[in-house]
Every structure is written in structure tokens, then in C-alpha cells.
Structure 1
Amino acid sequence: MLQHRSITASRNVFFCMNPYRKSVINTLFRCFLSVACYTLSLSQLWQKLSSAVRDFNLFPSTTPSTDEHHLRNQRISTRIFIILLTLSLTALISYISLINVTQTIYINSPTITQYSQLYSTYPQTLTCACTQVSISYDKFLQVNYKLHQICASIFVTNYWISYFTNARGTATLNGDDFRASGSFIFQALNAFCQLSNQTISNRLIQFYSSQYVTVSVTPLEVFQSQTQAFVSQFISSTANNFILSLLIIRNTTQSNGLLAGQLTNYGLYRQSNNYVTSSSYSYNNCSCASSATCSYQFPIYDSKNSKVIFTVPGIYIGCYIIEALLQSNLQCFYNKTCINQVQSYFTKYLSMNLTTLDSSLLIQFGMNSTMQELVDELMVEEWNSSTIYDGYYNECQPSKCSYSYQTKNDAIYIITTLIGLVGGLITVLKLTVPRLIKMMRRKKQIITPQMGKL
């Protein structure tokens, strides 16, 4: 009776406990049950998964079979198939991802700015086809030249040339006196200036009409080097042709012994019987009959006793005016003192203010450069050429440009390539793996009994 009451009392105590403690106990109890259930479900899931993997078969028989040997072959074939497929796909993905591929980009009608930017980035692969293949030089090339300053000076003008006639007075002068024959030197000098200028102008017309043929756009650096070569060839060929023509004339004149218009190479004498004879002149023991280049420095004589009172520095007189001029130089005309000295032998009242040549303007030549050296260079002190790349590009009018570069395959390409290959790979593996496994296990069955007998 007492025991029953104590039990009843304890139950009453339990049920009269704090509701919070009661909920905690219930929660713990439920957690214990859930953990036990979760462990049990994991164990069952693992058993099912293991069984499914063990019994997984991609090569079942057309009719269900209970032969354990055949089932074993099919399971082994399935595992080998999955392994080989995984390895093959891994190898393909690695290969396709790592190999370099060439990507080609096309641009329609690019501007010269776009072309320059593309060329700076892809100089080796950029190609732009020209719409117009043949282009005249005058569209992209300009050649300018500056003749020697003597050609723009007063010394080649009619004013200076006529000065010799007007300022020498009425005195009787020797034929080789500078005041008598010096005008011929400057007339010849003027002729060389005009002839050089005319030759260059005519050749430039031909040069500009030449055609530059190009299938694709030429890069700026290459284009500039090519145009400089064109200009250099033009200058050298023009000078060579000019020199050759002049040389032919000089040799023809000398070899035929032609009489100089100023009678500086032969003298004509009338005999008593009205016959006219000729006699060659000599200059410094050099006979004009044997050489056309005989010459000596241009003298100025004293009109009273025919003695040489001055020789013009750098200026020569000889068998032919042209030959003497080619041996002369212009050093006297850079010097104000020399010019004044020459003028002092002319009449005082016709003296003129002459501007000397400026030595600071000399670029290619020097003050002592001979006229032969000037003529060999077409009397040109300086050549200037300019290349107009924009003009060339606009005439070329590229309709399309293409460039290529090395890159890796992107994810889309890799996926599409694998999709294209995986079907064939699966088919090959499905045909070969089961047969290989079947053949290998059959050999094993044959060899094993034989080994047991041994």
C-alpha cells in the first residue's frame, strides 16, 4: 500500500515537472530516434547503391540470361567501357583545350586609321587587297629640287652678261681678255642652268606617270623605303642620261675638230692668194688640235702694253668655252673683294652693285667645287621628296582586310567538338570492348585447366 503510493507520488512529480524540461526531454528522444533512422537509411542506401553499381550492365543479352559467366562478362565490359570512355573524353578535352588554333578575322572597307592600328598589332598576318592595283606616282609622291644658287643669281642674267659689252669701254682688248670673252662663260653657265632645269622637269613628267603596281596594301615603312628607292633611281638615271648626252656632244665636237664660234681653238688667216687657212691655238703648251680641254686661268690685260695685270680666280679660258667652264669654279663670286677687283677693270661709270654668293647656302657643293661637279649633279644643290601615304591608301581602296592570330579553343567549341566525337567513340567502344572481354576470358578458361593439370 505504501509502495503504491510512492510510485503514484513519483508519477505525479514527473507530470508536475516544469513544462520546459519536459519539452527538452521529448526533443532529445525524437533526435535519438531520427539519428537511428538516418543511420539505418544510410546503411540501406549504401547497400542498394553498391548492389546497383555491382550489377550495373550496359551490355545485357537480348533475352534475359541467368548464366553467371555471361553476366560477369557483361559487368566487366561495362566497367571497362566506362573507364575507357572517361579516359578518352578526358584526353580529348585536354587536347582540344591546350592546342593552339589560328583565328582569322575579316574587316570590310577599313579606314587608314583602322589599318594602322591593325598593322601595329598584327604586322605579320594583316592582308588588305587593293581594289585599284595600278597607281600613278603623282598620287602619292612629290619630288622637289633646288638648283645651285648661281642659277638664281645676277651672274646668269642678261643684265650681267650685257654688262661686259657696255662697261668695257672703247679700249681694244685681246680676244682672251676676261672683259672681252667673259660674257661667253656666263652665257654657257646660264645655258647649263636652264638645260638642267628643263631636263629635270621633263623627266619628272615621265616619272609621275609611272605606275606603282601592288595587289595588297603596302605597310608604311616598306612603302617609304620603296618610294625612296624610286626617287634615288630617278635622280641617278636622270643625271647619268644628262651626263652621257653631254659627253657624246663633247666627244663629237672634239673628234671632228669643229671650229668654236668664238675662235678660241683655231685661228683663221687669209692668205695673199685669197685662200683661208687655219691654225690651232695652244694654251700652256697644250694644242687644241690634240685636246679640247686645253685651258688656262682667265687673264685681264693692261690695254697699254698687253701685260697680264690680273687673273680671275677659278675661271678658265681654253679651246672651247664649255670645256673651260667645266674646269672652272665659282670661288671668286663668294668673295666681295674679288668681285670688286674684277669690276675695277671695267669703266667706272658703269660699275654695278653685285651680291656675292652665300656660302651658308651650300649643302652638297663647296666654294671650290668645279662646274663639272655641279653639272654631274644636274646643278642641283638639294633634293627633297615627300611620300603621301594617305593618297596611296585612298587610291588603293582596300575593300576587305583579314588578319589571324593564335588562340585556344573556347568552351563552346570544345563542347560542340565533344558532342560530335562522343557518338562515334561510344559506338567504337560498344563494338570492341565486349568482344575483347569475351575473348580474353575464354582464353583464361582454356589456360586455367591446363595449368591445373601441370
Structure 2
Amino acid sequence: MFPSNPPSTDQHQLRNQRISTRIFIILLTLSLAILVLYTSLANVTHTVSISSPTIAQYSQLYSTYPQTLSCACTDISIDYDKFLQVNYTLHQICTSTFITDEWIGYLYNARPTGTLNSDDFRNAGLFIFQALNAFCQLSTQTISNQLTQFYSSQYVSASVTPLEVFQTQTQAFVSQFTSSVTKDFILSLSTIRKTTQSNALLNGQLTNYYLSGDISNNVNAYPLTYGDCGCKFSAVCSYELVIYNSTSKNVQFTVPGIYAGCYVIEALLQSNLQCFYNASCINEIQSYFTYYLSMNLTTLDTSLLVQFRKNSTIEEVVDELMVEKWNSSIVYDGYYNECQPSKCSYSYETRNNVIYIVTTVIGLVGGLVTVLKLIVPRMVRLIVFCIRRCTVNRNAVLPFIQLQLLVH
């Protein structure tokens, strides 16, 4: 493979040419073997793109290539209402008969004629349930207004968010919303209560102060007391409402859980609804109203209680925005359709196929042969030259060494 030009008959040159040919064949064979082995065992990364994939295609691709799948969104900002709905269930008192106009009208029309004490249920109950109705309406209105703002918020994502991550994020959004709206409501109510108490505002029902005039036409306000607590020093003085005998003014019945106090709101917040889970208690109350105006009432249902108890105070209920249970529903299809990914791409690692290996080897053979043809003969000549030099030097030194041995 390495003939001289012109052809030579020198045995040394012919031997060098034969050695070069053999070394060339050996190195070429080894190089090709290494090249084939490397290209067949090496891992390569393939990238695949899919245009406008459906959600079914995306789900299948994500289950197979979760680490490398990427789908860029056409619309990166999506309103919450496109994929998220927040529902809630108020405490059952807000859907019961006890806050309706019918019940409040019954309390007003069926009570006995004549003057009733301010702490008589037949008098104070009218205001208690009106205030309870107001709390239910206020809770509903507050949640509705906050939901309008919440739904107008936008979810921003440059690429499609996987379902599991999306669910976790949206649940966090809902939790943050419910916590925020509840705290804002409590803060507003607390501000109103503290303002009312600190300014000792006169209650319209005169349950904190009573007014009295003197001979000089001056009107004086005198604080009322509830037990050992006086409204002059505390706005939360209260005790349970009672029902008096119309003639003797003796207490005939104490309404369990319903309180009278300096302010209707403060008394209501300390009250609970345990009596209205009990048919006997309701019937006992109705027995002190006018019989010909009787009203069919249904007790509250204990099976509907989720986070509250029968004896939970109204303040505990109001502190949760009167919501018994929050529910949220996530529509992932809605999010995906709004995102509208125009293309999905994923990559995976695999081994080279036979065609790639053959073409790669064929493409490199020419260069490999050229390099070996340039290197091998020169390498052989260099090695032969070095061997000859070593042989000549050894032959020159050997007689001198023998002479030295003879002398000694």
C-alpha cells in the first residue's frame, strides 16, 4: 500500500513498506472497531415538536416525558373565572325561617299587647333576629364583592402548567382568598364595634342607657346594668333573655343561649342557637305568643353542621364570615383552552440506529484512511531509523568494551 516511486528493489525499503501496510491495516481495523462501538453505545438526544396539541395529547406526552415536555402558551394571562369557581355554604340559619320577614313579623304581631321589658324575648327577639338577618346579608354581599375582584385576577404562565402543579397553586389561591376576605370582614366589624363602644353611642332600643328628664327640662342619661356589669364601663354586659309573666312580672322561661345586653349586636355575638335545634325549646317559646297567630317552624338540623357546633356563639360564626363550608372547582380544560399552546416540544435520549452508525462510519473512513496514510509510513521510517542508530552505536562500543576486558 506504500510503494516507492519509482518502484524500488531495495530490501530495506520493501520491508518498511510491508511493515507500514500491516500497521496501517491493524490501526484502521482498530479505529473502525472503536468508532462503531462508540457510535452504537453513545446516547443522543432527540427533540420532537407537535403543533397545536389537544389536551389529551398533552396529558399523554406529559405522562411519558414529564421532565422535558414544554408547551408555550399563546395567552400567558388568564382570568381566574375561566378555570376556577369558588362556592360556599352559609350557616343554615341564613337559609332558615328564623331570619325571614315572616318570622320577624310573627315576633312583632304575635307578642302580647302592653309594655314588655327590654330583656323580654318577645321584645328583644325582634331586634336579635333582624340583626342576625343583617349579618347573613352582609356576609353574602361581602363574599360576592370579593369574588368579583378575585375572578378578575389573572393567572400568568408562559408555558402550560401541569395538572398536579396547577391544582396545588389554585388551591393556594383559594385558601389565600378565603383567609383574606374573612380577616378583612372581621377587621371592619371590629372597627365598628370599637367605635361604638368607645364613644358610648346611645342604643336605639335604649338598652345601654335610659333617659330621664328633670324639672328644669334637662335630659339625663343613666347607664343600665346587666347582672354585676354596667354599660357605663363595658359594652359587652349581657345575660340570657327571659320571658316574663304578663301580670306578676315573674320570669316564666329563660331562653337558653339568647342574650340581652347593652347593644343588640354585642348581645347577639355572645348568643348561640342551641334553642333552635330543639323542637321543645321552640314550642316553649311559641307558647308565650298569641295562639291564633301560631307559626309552623322547623328546627335547625345538626347534620348540616360542618365546622360549627350547636352551641357555637354567633361571634364564632361571624368570625368565619358565617360560612359553614368553602368549595372550589377547578376546570383544567378551561385553563388549557385559554392558554392555547401553539406547539409542544419534548426530548428523549436513545442509542443510534444502524443506519446512523453505518453512515457515520462511512463518512469518517475517508478521513481516517488519509490520516493513517500520512502518519504510518513516517512513523515506521522513524522507528527504523532509531533502531539503526542504536545498532550502529552498539557495534561501535562493543570492541572497546571487549578490549577493556582483555586488558583487565
TM norm. shorter chain > 0.5: yes
Picking from 254, 268, 273, the partner of 1:330 is 273
Corresponding residue for 2:59?
116
Picking from 291, 299, 305, the partner of 1:356 is 299
| Correspondence 1:308 to 2:248 | no
For residues 307 and 228 of structure 2, the distance between their equivalents in structure 1, rounded to whole angstroms, comes to 35
CA shift digits 1:121-179 (9 cap, x unpaired): 11111111111111111111111111111111111011111222211121321122111
For residues 296 and 449 of structure 1, the distance between their equivalents in structure 2, rounded to whole angstroms, comes to 127
Q: Where in structure 2 are there 5+ consecutive unaligned residues?
A: 399-408
Picking from 84, 90, 111, the partner of 1:147 is 90
Picking from 141, 165, 184, the partner of 1:222 is 165
For residues 214 and 367 of structure 2, the distance between their equivalents in structure 1, rounded to whole angstroms, comes to 120
Q: How do residues 201-220 of structure 1 correspond to structure 2 at under 5 angstroms?
A: 201-220=144-163
Corresponding residue for 1:43?
none
What SS does structure 1 have at the residue aligned with 2:364?
Answer: helix
CA shift digits 1:379-398 (9 cap, x unpaired): 11122111111111111111
Corresponding residue for 2:373?
430
What SS does structure 2 have at the residue aligned with 1:123?
Answer: coil
Please state how far the C-alpha of 1:416 moved relative to its aligned partner: 2.3
One-letter amino acid of the structure 2 residue matched with residue 216 of structure 1: S
Q: How do residues 237-256 of structure 1 correspond to structure 2 at under 5 angstroms?
A: 237-256=180-199
Please state how far the C-alpha of 1:449 moved relative to its aligned partner: 2.8
Please state how far the C-alpha of 1:289 moved relative to its aligned partner: 2.0
For residues 403 and 234 of structure 1, the distance between their equivalents in structure 2, rounded to whole angstroms, comes to 36
What SS does structure 1 have at the residue aligned with 2:201?
Answer: coil
What SS does structure 2 have at the residue aligned with 1:182?
Answer: helix
Q: Number of paired residues?
A: 397
Corresponding residue for 1:342?
285
Q: How do residues 30-429 of structure 1 correspond to structure 2 at under 5 angstroms?
A: 58-429=1-372
Contact residue 172 and residue 303 of structure 1 kept, 8 A: no
One-letter amino acid of the structure 1 residue matched with residue 245 of structure 2: D
Please state how far the C-alpha of 1:330 moved relative to its aligned partner: 0.5
CA RMSD, Structure 1 to Structure 2 (Å): 1.2
Please state how far the C-alpha of 1:420 moved relative to its aligned partner: 2.9
One-letter amino acid of the structure 1 residue matched with residue 159 of structure 2: S
What SS does structure 1 have at the residue aligned with 2:53?
Answer: coil
One-letter amino acid of the structure 2 residue matched with residue 405 of structure 1: Y
Normalized against structure 1, the TM-score is what?
0.85
For residues 367 and 205 of structure 2, the distance between their equivalents in structure 1, rounded to whole angstroms, comes to 103
Please state how far the C-alpha of 1:102 moved relative to its aligned partner: 1.4
Contact residue 292 and residue 319 of structure 1 kept, 8 A: yes
Please state how far the C-alpha of 1:364 moved relative to its aligned partner: 1.9
For residues 416 and 266 of structure 1, the distance between their equivalents in structure 2, rounded to whole angstroms, comes to 102
One-letter amino acid of the structure 2 residue matched with residue 70 of structure 1: Q
For residues 146 and 105 of structure 2, the distance between their equivalents in structure 1, rounded to whole angstroms, comes to 32
Please state how far the C-alpha of 1:307 moved relative to its aligned partner: 2.0
One-letter amino acid of the structure 1 residue matched with residue 368 of structure 2: L
For residues 190 and 369 of structure 2, the distance between their equivalents in structure 1, rounded to whole angstroms, comes to 89
For residues 54 and 286 of structure 2, the distance between their equivalents in structure 1, rounded to whole angstroms, comes to 64
Please state how far the C-alpha of 1:321 moved relative to its aligned partner: 0.7
What SS does structure 2 have at the residue aligned with 1:145?
Answer: strand
Higher RCO (C-alpha 8 Å, min separation 6): 2
Please state how far the C-alpha of 1:225 moved relative to its aligned partner: 1.3
CA shift digits 1:212-235 (9 cap, x unpaired): 111111111111111111111111
One-letter amino acid of the structure 1 residue matched with residue 212 of structure 2: Y
| Range moving further from structure 2, 172-181 or 321-330 | 172-181
| Range moving further from structure 2, 262-271 or 392-401 | 262-271
Please state how far the C-alpha of 1:248 moved relative to its aligned partner: 0.7
Corresponding residue for 1:17?
none
Provide runs of 4+ in structure 1 moved above 6 Å: none
For residues 440 and 187 of structure 1, the distance between their equivalents in structure 2, rounded to whole angstroms, comes to 113
CA shift digits 1:61-86 (9 cap, x unpaired): 23222222112112111111111111
One-letter amino acid of the structure 2 residue matched with residue 347 of structure 1: T
What SS does structure 1 have at the residue aligned with 2:252?
Answer: strand
For residues 213 and 373 of structure 2, the distance between their equivalents in structure 1, rounded to whole angstroms, comes to 126
What SS does structure 1 have at the residue aligned with 2:394?
Answer: helix
